[in-house]
């Protein structure tokens, strides 16, 4: 399949970031702590710079929202959403569960996503109307019909654990066939590939999930926040499912799904 100019640019940007990331992963890098108490390294900053350079060369009039460099031209029709290393804590500890997330939004709608996990050996991508792919192979969600047959994966859950909703999540867990915590990019790759069926996560940033949302949707899945709302720049939690039946059933077990 011939790639669109947008996808070709996103893939080239992922390649450029991967070169930086592999260098620092092998050589080691000093860690700094940001104001929000999360770590950042030269690898984060330089890989985002590499992504921005590729995109700006191809689309100088597009907006850019990066994890490390912030927002510019955010009111443009096209805005790129970038997390150069989603999973910096894993990166600095030599654990390959991290990825570069590159997404494109057009007038508020996510239309393209690339999720590249170079040390894990997976790159997934999708563009609106073109299907989803993992390492060059077309992927699709599973046909799982009920929660009792389904596998759930959870990611960040701290906010849920500190809220009255924790018991409701427990009720959902009790109905599942299997529960795991694959986390980060990986459980979304698994969902889009048909290997798991449901993901629940809180304490996320839109930059962490924008590309993954496009991939899951193009694989046939459903991707919203926990209340069932469409994603936006202020989204902080996720309910992703292989199909609308599972998504509806999961929401019915959670307070948002019962109108509370």
What's the rounded Cα separation, in Å, for the pair 127 and 104? Answer: 9
DSSP codes, 38-96: -EEEHHHHHHHHHHHHHHHHH-TTSEEEETTTEEESTTSSEEEEEEEEETHHHHHTT--
Classify domain 5-130 at the CATH superfamily level: Fructose-1,6-Bisphosphatase, subunit A, domain 1 (3.30.540.10)
Q: How confident is the model at residue 156 (pLDDT cuts 50, 70, 90)?
A: confident
pLDDT tens digits, one per residue of 61-86: 999 999 988 899 999 999 999 999 99
Q: How confident is the model at residue 42 (pLDDT cuts 50, 70, 90)?
A: confident
Q: In what order do the strands lie in the sheet with 109-117?
A: 70-72, 63-66, 78-86, 99-106, 109-117, 122-127, 132-134, 137-139
What's the rounded Cα separation, in Å, for the pair 204 and 99? Answer: 14
Residue 87, sorted as left (phi over 0), alpha (psi -120 to 50) or beta, turns out to be: left
**What backbone torsions phi and psi does residue 31 show, to the nearest 5 degrees?**
-105, 135
User: Does the structure show a pLDDT above 80 at 39?
Assistant: no
Domain 147-258 grouped into CATH 1.20.1050.10: no
In this prediction, residue 260 carries a pLDDT of 40
Greatest C-alpha distance within the chain: 51
CATH fold match for the domains 5-130 and 147-258: no
> Where does residue 55 rank: exposed (0-12), middle (13-18), buried (19+ CB within 10 A)?
buried
Instruction: Break the chain into its structural domains and give their ranges.
Output: 5-130, 147-258
What's the whole-number mean pLDDT along residues 130-143? 98
Name 167's Cβ contacts closer than 8 Å, sequence gap at least 6.
none
Q: How confident is the model at residue 34 (pLDDT cuts 50, 70, 90)?
A: low
């Amino acid at each position: 399949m011939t790639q669109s100019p947008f996808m070709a640019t996103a893939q080239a940007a992922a390649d450029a970031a991967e070169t930086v990331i592999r260098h620092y992963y092998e050589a080691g890098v000093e860690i700094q702590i940001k104001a929000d108490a999360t770590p950042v390294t030269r690898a984060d900053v330089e890989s985002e710079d590499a992504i921005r350079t590729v995109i700006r060369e191809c689309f100088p009039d597009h907006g850019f929202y990066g994890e490390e460099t912030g927002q510019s031209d955010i009111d443009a029709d096209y805005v790129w959403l970038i997390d150069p290393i989603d999973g910096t804590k894993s990166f600095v500890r030599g654990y390959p569960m991290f990825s570069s997330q590159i997404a494109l939004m057009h007038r508020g709608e996510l239309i393209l996503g690339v999720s590249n996990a170079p040390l894990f050996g997976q790159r997934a991508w999708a563009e609106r109307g073109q299907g989803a792919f993992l390492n060059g192979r077309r992927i699709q969600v599973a046909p799982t019909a009920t929660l009792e047959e389904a596998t759930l994966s959870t990611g960040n859950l701290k906010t849920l654990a500190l809220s009255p909703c924790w018991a409701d999540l427990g009720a959902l867990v009790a109905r599942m066939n299997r529960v795991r915590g694959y986390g980060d990019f990986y459980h979304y790759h698994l969902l889009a590939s048909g290997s798991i069926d449901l993901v629940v996560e809180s304490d996320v940033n839109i930059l962490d999930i924008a590309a993954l949302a496009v991939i899951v949707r193009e694989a046939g899945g459903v991707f919203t926040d926990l209340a069932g709302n469409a994603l936006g720049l202020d989204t902080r939690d996720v309910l992703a499912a292989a199909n609308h039946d599972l998504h509806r059933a999961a929401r019915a077990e959670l307070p948002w799904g019962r109108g509370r």
